[in-house]
A and B are shown apart, each in its own frame.
Chain A
Amino acid sequence: MSLSPKQIESIAHLARLELKPEEIPVYADSLSRIFGLVGELDRAQTAQVEPMAHPLEQVQRLRADEATSPNQRELYQRNAPQVEGGLYLVPKVIE
């Protein structure tokens, strides 16, 4: 399978990655080869196989409904580039 430059641009946009124009053919080539590798799985006979949601043969354990996390805002916000009035500030996003 070969990915077009347009598909590469769209994937990059979904991943919020900025690509230089000269990088597009590079990614087109390497991503296409990864697809080829994964594509080999298509040849496996899976008609009789039940889809697997998780490789571990276990079921989800549940947590009791208790509020156990204390407020550590100050600690966490030391890690943030910009905060104000307890709010995290990020570059403006508006739809």
Chain B
Amino acid sequence: MSGEWETVIGLEIHAQLATKSKIFSGSPTAYGAEPNTQADLVDLGYPGVLPVLNAEAVRMAVKFGLAVGAVITRRSVFARKNYFYPDLPKGYQISQYELPIVARGSLDVVMEDGTVKTVGITRAHLEEDAGKSQHEGVGVSAIDLNRAGTPLIEIVSEPDMRSAKEAVAYMKKIHTLVRYLGICDGNMQEGSFRCDANVSIRRKGAEKFGTRAELKNLNSFRFVEKAINLEVMRQIDILESGGTVVQETRLYDSDKDETRSMRSKEEANDYRYFPDPDLLPVVLEERFIETVRGSLPELPDQKAARFQQQYGLSLYDAGVLTASKELAAYFEAVAALVPSDPKLAANWVMGDWSAALNKDGLDVAESRLSAAQLAGLLNRIVDNTISGKIAKEVFEAMWAEGLEADAVIASRGLRQITDTGAIEAEIDAIMAANPKQLADYRAGKDKLFGFFVGQVMKSTGGKANPAMLNDLLKKKLAP
């Protein structure tokens, strides 16, 4: 990317709230039902029906607002956002405009290099989701309104992010947060959590923002990063060849890996918002807000701070381990059983164990090894029964067969050799078998030390205690 341009990104994240029923009707919200079996007269936009607001959706929105330190609007108002599309039979979406339920807040995001980025949250408002349309048929579109009326919270950020990486880190943090709060299942494949990105570029040091393009419906972290980077390149190309960027909505096509124009926003933007006369202002009492505040769980940042203090972890590692409640709980269960070395527990949970889960496409809850089983392995490293290297082999066997560490170590004879005499005997044998290397080493070829380590490890099947082997070898090889 050209050095003199600065990228400016703001995100609008849509999170479906995990209520049992819709935001304004009594239809169920379960995912994957037969088309249109969860759409009642309110969702279908029949004349004469009235929306009635779901108390749980309100409570969840307030929960989110409190978790990002936002101002909770004591009197918020629903508005109609008017546009015609068949996935929204009323001809308008009920949303919030001038007075959203959650006003200004902010979120700290830890980047990979340990720096902390604060992203401003402009607002978060309640609204209803639209239905789904399919366009495969000839001359017709097919509409499923099961999703219509599902409660959403739209979280709008300030244009505070300066790279695709920052945008992804922020989105991941929101994703973590809504799952901690239990207000959204975060399932991106099912569309429960998705995002639009507003992207523009400007000359480094410029005050004024450039013209932005809105990238629609990015439903994976990877796509967000790719789509933003593509869009930045596109805009740089345009500006560097003397053109101007048009304000428009663009769709990211993951198959072709390109963004393309969807429609001119000028016209589509004429939403003619006005307060919805079918709904009265939502007034929140202080007592209600305090009750919700009291119900907040330990939040990711609080947990990460505690992990740093309690287990001596870095800010970044603490962030990784608190990315989900389940992961954090698993780590804590392991760490509790390996009290002398919580860092070892952290490294294994983030390393081999997470990699094994990923490889098999499993959730934390589906882990093939319980926290106690993993801790059992780590304790054999701690007490020097096996080396860290052998532990990886034991881990693989445990993972594949669901075995206990001690059983694998015993059945495969992997117990580390910590008997000085035994190691010395192996060293003597190797020295005797390699007189040339021994002479060369003694003549100053220091690099051959590694050769001897390798030979002894080979002859002991990797079981010689590495630290002891090093010490003994140094002594024995000395001229």
* CB–CB A60/B281 < 8 A: yes
Closest Cβ–Cβ distance, residue B214 to chain A (whole Å): 13
* CB–CB B41/A76 < 8 A: yes
Binds A, one of B154-162, B271-279, B298-306, B376-384: B271-279
Chain A residue numbers with a CB within 8 Å of B40 are 69, 72
Given the contacts A63-B54, A65-B21, A92 and B26 also touching, CB distance less than 8 Å: no
Chain A residue numbers with a CB within 8 Å of B135 are 92-94
Contact size class for A?
A: 35 or more
A90 at the interface (CB under 8 A from B): yes
B386 at the interface (CB under 8 A from A): no
Q: Report the bound CA distance from A27 to B280 in whole Å.
A: 33
In order of increasing CB-CB distance, the 8 nearest A-B pairs are A68-B26, A65-B56, A62-B55, A67-B28, A69-B40, A87-B142, A86-B35, A60-B280
Tell me the interface secondary structure of chain A in the complex. loop
Closest Cβ–Cβ distance, residue A79 to chain B (whole Å): 9
Given the contacts A71-B37, A84-B142, A86-B34, A63 and B53 also touching, CB distance less than 8 Å: yes
Binds B, one of A18-26, A35-43, A50-58: A50-58
A30 at the interface (CB under 8 A from B): no
The chain B residue with its CB closest to the CB of A64 is B55
Closest Cβ–Cβ distance, residue B34 to chain A (whole Å): 6
B291 at the interface (CB under 8 A from A): no
B358 at the interface (CB under 8 A from A): no
B: residues with CB less than 8 A from A are 19-21, 25-29, 34-41, 44, 52-58, 77, 82, 84-86, 99, 133-135, 137, 139-145, 262-263, 270, 272, 275, 277, 279-283
* CB–CB B54/A62 < 8 A: yes
* CB–CB A93/B139 < 8 A: no
* CB–CB A71/B35 < 8 A: no
A12 at the interface (CB under 8 A from B): no
* CB–CB A92/B282 < 8 A: no
Chain A residue numbers with a CB within 8 Å of B26 are 63, 66-69
Most chain B CB neighbours (cut-off 10 Å) among A14, A56, A84: A14
* CB–CB B142/A88 < 8 A: yes
Chain A residue numbers with a CB within 8 Å of B19 are 65
